[in-house]
Structure 1
Amino acid sequence: MNKVTITIKHALLAAGIMAAAHGCKVDIQPTDRYTETAVWSNPANMELYINGMYSEFKTFQFGTFPIGYSNATDALSDIEKYTSTVAGNGTVNILATDASRVNAAGPQLNYWTAGYTRIRRLNEFLDGLAKYAKVDEDTKVQYEAEARFIRGYVYFWLVKLHGSVILLDNIEQYLSKEHERSSEEDCWKFIAADFAFAAAHLPEERDAAHTGRATKGAAYGMLARTWLYAASIAEYDRKQFNQDALTGVSAANAQTYYQHAADAAQAVMDLAAQGHYELESDYAAIFTNRNTKEAIFKLDFIAPQVTHNFDLGFAPPGDAPGQCLVYGVPTAELVDEYEMSDGARFSWSDPAMAADPYSNREPRFYASILYNGASWKNRTINTTPADATEGFSEYAVTTEPRKTVTGYYIRKMLNPASNDFVVNKSTQSWIELRYAEILLIAAEARTKLNDISGAQQALNTLRNKRGLPNTTAAAATTLMQAIEHERMVELAFEGHRYWDLRRWRKAHIVLNGVRFTGHRVTPTDDGFNYEVVNCDNMDRQFTPALYYIPIPVSELQNNPALTQIKGW
């Protein structure tokens, strides 16, 4: 094998060069590139290397996806509407209403090149670790577990997109430029194996010097998420939407994979019982409390070196007039899903609810949505069209309105104590994996295993902590409906909704041939009028072919053994 040369951009290494006399040839290592043996001779370099690999999680922070601009995939679904009509800030709207924009020639929904670049770096790390690392065996195994945790996450995204992808387990495979796709089922098993290895070898807790690094609970949580996806596709896909020989998961294995998901979720729940994780009573504070015990795996930010722009992108305009970007806002479809405080379903058909729709709603509503009359940063939000700063603006009348096109603003994940985010940016953590999601995974997997009482227990644990009564669902069908509702509300704006609809194979129904809505609120003599208005100016499009995103044509040209997913 040819020796691999690794570039470490952030490592500061002292290069000692010994000169030989008498005109002998001297091989001088360049100061910006280091051979494997040089990298692995110093354990500090390994720390720098693996720390750098965690930057991959920033690719999808706050539910974004790199589609030219980092637009939120929730805006491809029914819960969020991006306000812009033009490419860039509005790319997600273009994709949501024109399925033809997703094709093998275009860059949209493309993570292939970036994903495989990261996989190569991780496999290089694993190769050097095995051959050259000068650390004890326990440390070596833990480093391998971390690298495989990150690799599993990268492959998880690739398989969510394409189903059947190339599996590369070691650096020797890169000597060949010809690689075939593996079956989707084998891909899910590969991802699960990486997370299972990580779960077996990572510690339950990290010390202060390693905050933000993967733990046993994070690995088990990602394993549960992985098996839930595999099981869902096994149950719902059944080769109805793509006839490629390598896509799909055997329906006969659905129950086995649901059991795997339930078992992995239970492992996290056991860790919670030991005091490692717990649900928060204050839902809003989860996303601004750096020390929340609901976070299983998160990215922390520290000003001024490491920050983000979530507040600048989503805060209502009154927070910084003329500067807030208001990328995306909640839809009425999401707002209407939040229950009443007593657990009753909200309905515009109920005269009392319709007359005062924002009163007596569940706590998550007030922690997630800014509505007309909401109290926020010492002012009252006014979304009536008469308000020039924060009032309703009809979608597509202005290309970049920078205000609500639905009558609502996002409250969740904003920092209520920050008024200087334009200059100093934001530092609230991004939580990639929460304990709430684990309970929802457990509830769904147990429902599919016909463990109704176990599913109810997991779901009710979450609902009760959110101030809601136990679910009334007592059969598998109604319980699954309750879980789908709960995921829509609990995980809103965290980047799950679009992918949930895909794995349930409901996207071609929910996201096709429809226009989502908002509420134009106008004052009347005795209150307000709430008019339902479209926030889309054309029908949404989701064709069945989109369940498997095409492989970029440039990758097919570079790899003669790689074939396009059938149908593209």
Structure 2
Amino acid sequence: MTTLRTHIKTALLLLALAGSVQSCKLDGMPGDRYSDAAIWKDAANVDLYMYGLYDQFKTYAFGQFPIGYSNATDAFTDIEKYTSNSMGNGTVNRLAYNPGQVNAASPSISVWDDAYGNIRRINEFLNGMQLYSKLTDQQKVQFEAEARYLRAYNYFWLARINGSVIIMDKLPADKNRARSSEEEVWNFIAADLSFAAQHLPKEWPAAQKGRVTQGAAYGLLSRAWLYAASVAEYDNKQFNKDPLTGVPSSKKTEYYQHAADAAAAVIGLGIYDLETDYAKAFLNNNSKESIFAVYYQRPGVTHQLDFFFSPPADVAGGGATGVPTAELVNEYEMADGRRFSWSEADMKADPYAGREPRFYASVIYNGASWKGRHVNTTPDDDKEGYIDFKVNSDPRKTVTGYYQRKMLDETNTDILVLNSNQPWVEMRYAEILLIHAEALTKLGKITEAKTSLNKVRSRVGLPGTPAATPEAMMAAIEHERKVELAFEGHRYWDLRRWRKAHIVLNNVRFHGHKVTANGSGFDYTEVDCDKENRYFPTSFYYMPITQTEIVNNPAMKQIQGW
């Protein structure tokens, strides 16, 4: 791990040496700069170049997304609320309330430039390696597998945002290319990942910890096939008439089988398992649950998760950028598996007692112990108490009565000096089990699906699901994905692939709980933490391609509806 993260800095210098990204992300030829012996003369230098390509993962670390100040896509949904109403920290709120801001000139929700910049560099790497390097055939195949994983990762982001995009599998003589169909894009992703899975090692030596593995390739392959299958099942050209978007419904069973097979391949490797302690899956550099992670090391390679998301008493000028909603808090079950309900007198009287372990690992609530103190979220506390949304444009206090706990480092008591160094777990074993359960459910294999789902539940001491039908199983899977994967950046994309976002996220407001002392205890009042309705138009299932690319590429037409 240490060697990998340290080498990334050096590798970025090699990327700069290799040539800067052109104004149009789709163009660029290799040129003689890739014959430079300093880059291609041996495997060690090719390693350094490859390490530099890994820097792209930091764009998406900790469920963030490149809009505003790395606003989280979970804050578009019912599980997280951003506290700011200003552009920047609160851009995600502005977009949720006013989707009319999104247009082809300013897509807002886009990775186009970054993704194609990365893809061009990856293709240049592959081209240069084949033309100029002195590597063995075995070395070339392994580097190709690694590069094709990285290319597939970029295309995965493009596919779930735009659907139909341009496939660039090599450096073109002419940058003018038309969009491929969404089905072709998903199959291209699968081809890259299948190659990667065949040729990547199961594990790397300790000094190279953090590089993608066979398990990571099969894992992303299972995720990609699940997305493609979901589009095939749920889209049916209901929301966009562009001839290139969507996946034929006839493909859903085949694609669900591919997703199940890829997830089974990860399980079959026998090198991953669930952590006994759920919270430790996110703070441990050696977690047995981690399939692919981005690692950090103080002092030079750090991030700012704790600065932005800790309770505000932890860090001057920071904290509370995003906080859990009541909708998420209500989703966590009781420790014995009963559904939590405010209509139950005993639960309402003490709503934070007797809940399942993931609640305590994910949410800081009124009275919770944190860094040697009991957090007070009542309005009486000037530093960390509840404040109504929009009273202050950037309050740095909870507007729901809760703070995030999951992934934060409770041992970090000097955030401004230390920053943060906990890993970002891009893919973990629990997600693979949930993918396996969902794909098998869609294939009608309920008993096998329950086995994988119940492994996730039993890890936190919950009883197995009683679901016995495909419909009940899908409800159970959505619940598990909502709580198990909270704040990891999955919820928004799940609602999109299930084509439920226009139902769950449209013409709605989400909530918090205002806690007030009543002398002998506390009263809990549900509050509106939005103050205006959120909207998700169905056109958002396929976001526009940036207009500059349409202008620069006469062969490409804009996605219909934009």
TM-score, normalising length from structure 1?
Answer: 0.93
Residues 1:361 and 2:349 aligned together: no
Indicate if the aligned counterparts of 2:232 and 2:252 stay in contact, CA closer than 8 A. yes
Indicate if the aligned counterparts of 1:10 and 1:48 stay in contact, CA closer than 8 A. no
Indicate if the aligned counterparts of 2:282 and 2:422 stay in contact, CA closer than 8 A. yes
Secondary structure, in 3 states, of the residue corresponding to 2:297?
A: coil
Alignment correspondent of 1:307: 302
Indicate if the aligned counterparts of 2:310 and 2:404 stay in contact, CA closer than 8 A. yes
Residues 1:318 and 2:318 aligned together: no
Secondary structure, in 3 states, of the residue corresponding to 1:66?
A: coil
Query: Displacement, 1:45?
Result: 2.0
Quick check: which has more Rg, 1 or 2?
1
Residues 1:328 and 2:328 aligned together: no
Counterparts of 2:515 and 2:395, CA distance in 1:
17
Residues 1:207 and 2:205 aligned together: yes
Cα deviations across residues 191-222 of structure 1 (Å, max 9, x unaligned)?
Answer: 01111100000000110121100100000000
Alignment correspondent of 1:22: none
Alignment correspondent of 1:162: 162
> Which amino acid in the other structure matches residue 341 of structure 1?
A
Indicate if the aligned counterparts of 1:334 and 1:489 stay in contact, CA closer than 8 A. yes
Identity, in percent, stands at 58
What are the within-5 Å matches in structure 2 for residues 169-568 of structure 1? 169-171=169-171, 173=172, 175-272=173-270, 276-320=271-315, 322-568=316-562
> Which amino acid in the other structure matches residue 520 of structure 1?
K
Alignment correspondent of 2:7: none
Indicate if the aligned counterparts of 1:323 and 1:422 stay in contact, CA closer than 8 A. no
Indicate if the aligned counterparts of 1:84 and 1:399 stay in contact, CA closer than 8 A. yes
Counterparts of 2:497 and 2:279, CA distance in 1:
28
> Which amino acid in the other structure matches residue 13 of structure 2?
H
Query: Displacement, 1:42?
Result: 2.9
Indicate if the aligned counterparts of 2:42 and 2:135 stay in contact, CA closer than 8 A. no
Secondary structure, in 3 states, of the residue corresponding to 2:348?
A: helix
Query: Displacement, 1:13?
Result: 13
1:10 to 9, 13, 26: 13
Which stretches in structure 2 are left out of the alignment for 5+ residues? Answer: 1-9, 18-31
Which stretches in structure 1 are left out of the alignment for 5+ residues? Answer: 1-6, 15-32
Counterparts of 1:48 and 1:431, CA distance in 2:
22
> Which amino acid in the other structure matches residue 324 of structure 1?
G
Counterparts of 2:145 and 2:15, CA distance in 1:
25
Counterparts of 1:191 and 1:12, CA distance in 2:
24
Indicate if the aligned counterparts of 1:227 and 1:258 stay in contact, CA closer than 8 A. yes
Query: Displacement, 1:177?
Result: 2.4
Counterparts of 1:292 and 1:462, CA distance in 2:
16
TM-score, normalising length from structure 2?
Answer: 0.94
Cα deviations across residues 437-489 of structure 1 (Å, max 9, x unaligned)?
Answer: 00000000000000000100000111101211101111110010000000000
Residues 1:116 and 2:112 aligned together: no
Counterparts of 2:241 and 2:412, CA distance in 1:
51
Cα deviations across residues 331-360 of structure 1 (Å, max 9, x unaligned)?
Answer: 000000000000110001111111110000
Secondary structure, in 3 states, of the residue corresponding to 1:432?
A: strand
Cα deviations across residues 131-172 of structure 1 (Å, max 9, x unaligned)?
Answer: 22211111110000000000000000011100000000011x
Query: Displacement, 1:525?
Result: 2.9
Cα deviations across residues 281-324 of structure 1 (Å, max 9, x unaligned)?
Answer: 1111111111111000000000011000000000001213x332
Q: Against the structure 1 CA distance between its residues 557 and 8, is the aligned structure 2 distance closer, same or farther, given a 3 Å change threshold?
A: farther
Q: More deviation in 444-453 or 520-529?
A: 520-529
Cα deviations across residues 212-244 of structure 1 (Å, max 9, x unaligned)?
Answer: 001000000000000000000000000000000
What are the within-5 Å matches in structure 2 for residues 90-105 of structure 1? 90-105=90-105
Counterparts of 2:413 and 2:300, CA distance in 1:
19
Secondary structure, in 3 states, of the residue corresponding to 1:154?
A: helix
> Which amino acid in the other structure matches residue 307 of structure 1?
T
Query: Displacement, 1:250?
Result: 0.5
Secondary structure, in 3 states, of the residue corresponding to 2:257?
A: helix
Secondary structure, in 3 states, of the residue corresponding to 2:70?
A: strand
Alignment correspondent of 1:30: none
Counterparts of 2:466 and 2:484, CA distance in 1:
18
> Which amino acid in the other structure matches residue 494 of structure 2?
D
Indicate if the aligned counterparts of 1:68 and 1:107 stay in contact, CA closer than 8 A. no
Indicate if the aligned counterparts of 1:243 and 1:566 stay in contact, CA closer than 8 A. yes
Indicate if the aligned counterparts of 2:400 and 2:513 stay in contact, CA closer than 8 A. yes
Cα deviations across residues 70-96 of structure 1 (Å, max 9, x unaligned)?
Answer: 110000111000000010000000011
Secondary structure, in 3 states, of the residue corresponding to 1:224?
A: helix
Residues 1:144 and 2:144 aligned together: yes
Query: Displacement, 1:11?
Result: 3.9
Q: More deviation in 93-102 or 223-232?
A: 93-102
